């Protein structure tokens, strides 16, 4: 019997508690004209969206990700953005940091080598971002004064469960970056 592709998975960065607190406060303050604010525990930056896979492939994906050897780095989110079609309010980077591209390249290389095609670098919009709220109407976007920073010391393989109201995410495995143990 063929195994069902019933698991919807992606690789992502989860901000630390302090950055999550800042992002969540921002989301609350900006999504005032309706829309759905993302729960603090769900705030993340998608590295690579894999999509529907089998349970066997989930195990394979975790093995592949464990082979990625990239240094830990500091990430600074220094801009807010809005995609009007779906009313997505997001936080991101004016310029994609080299270290972030390097991590994604290393992961994409290992995935490709194992036969997984990753079309959606940084998610469908191809811009590294953390979605703060959905279905927001015309927010006025302030300049993000002090950037929101965190030390990226790991990345995660995450499973997404779609519900009528919102998706929920479960971390299946985390992968430490080099130097993160210090
Ligand atoms: P979003 O936050 O911009 O909607 C889990 O669903 C994560 O993968 C989310 O961060 C989401 O981005 C992104 N995502 C969802 N569906 C996707 C798709 N079909 N292609 C690429 N990225 C997707």
Calculate the average pLDDT of the chain: 93
Cα dist. 39→23, 42, 85, 133 in Å?
10, 5, 21, 9
How would DSSP label each residue in 110-152? Answer: HHHHTT----EETTTTTS-EEEEEES----------SPEEEEE
C-alpha 49 to ligand 1 mean position (Å): 6
Can you tell me the distance from the alpha carbon of 55 to that of 90, in angstroms, rounded to the nearest whole number? 31
Give the domain range for residue 127. 7-176
Q: What is the 3-state secondary structure (H, E, C) of 51-100?
A: EEECHHHHHHHHHHHHCCCCECEEEEECEEEEECCCCEEEEECCCCCHHH
**Confidence tier at 180 by pLDDT (50, 70, 90):** confident
Query: What is the C-alpha separation between 180 and 93, in angstroms, rounded?
Result: 22
| Tally of domains within the chain | 1
Tell whether the model's pLDDT for residue 182 goes beyond 80. Answer: no
Q: Which residue has the tokens 């004209």?
A: 33
Would 182 be classed as within a structural domain?
A: no
Residue nearest to atom 22 of ligand 1 (CA): 123
Q: Which residue's CA is the nearest one to ligand 1's atom 19? A: 124
Assess if residue 181 is contained within a domain.
no
Distance from C-alpha of 111 to C-alpha of 167, rounded to nearest angstrom: 25
Region 161-175: mean pLDDT is 95
The whole-number average pLDDT for the span 123-142 is 90
Least-confidence region, from 78-87, 117-126, 149-158, 165-174: 117-126
Atom number of ligand 1 nearest to Cα 169: 5
Residue 49 in contact with ligand 1 by CB distance below 6 A? yes
Query: What's the pTM value of the predicted model, to 2 decimals?
Result: 0.96
Rounded distance from Cα 121 to ligand 1 centre (Å): 10
Residues 160, 169 contacting (CB under 8 angstroms): yes
Q: Is the CB of 153 under 6 A from ligand 1?
A: no
| pLDDT value at residue 119 | 74
Asked if residue 1 is part of any domain, the answer here is no
CATH assignment of the domain containing 127: 3.90.1140.10
User: What does the pLDDT look like over 40-89, one tens digit per residue?
Assistant: 999 999 999 999 999 999 999 999 999 999 999 999 999 999 999 999 99
Q: Is residue 145 part of a domain?
A: yes
Cα 122 to averaged position of ligand 1 atoms, centre (Å): 8
In-domain check, residue 120: yes
pLDDT at residue 181 greater than cutoff 70: no
Q: Is 180 exposed, middle or buried (0-12, 13-18, 19+ CB in 10 A)?
A: middle
């Amino acid at each position: 019997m063929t195994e069902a592709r019933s698991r919807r998975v992606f690789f992502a960065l989860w901000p630390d508690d302090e950055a999550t607190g800042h992002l969540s406060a921002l989301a609350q303050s900006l999504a005032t004209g309706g829309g759905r604010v993302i729960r603090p525990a769900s705030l993340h930056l998608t590295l690579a969206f894999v999509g529907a896979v089998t349970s066997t492939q989930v195990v394979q994906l975790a093995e592949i990700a464990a082979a990625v050897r990239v240094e830990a780095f500091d990430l600074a989110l220094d801009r807010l953005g809005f995609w009007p079609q779906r009313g997505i309010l997001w936080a991101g980077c004016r310029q994609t940091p080299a270290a972030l591209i390097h991590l994604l390249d290393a992961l994409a290389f290992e995935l490709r080598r194992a036969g997984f095609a990753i079309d959606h670098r940084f998610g469908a919009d191809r811009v590294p971002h953390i979605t703060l709220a959905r279905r927001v109407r015309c927010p006025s976007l302030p300049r993000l004064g002090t950037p929101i920073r965190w030390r990226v010391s790991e990345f995660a393989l995450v499973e997404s469960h779609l519900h009528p109201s919102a998706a929920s995410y479960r971390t299946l495995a985390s992968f430490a970056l080099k130097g993160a143990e210090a």
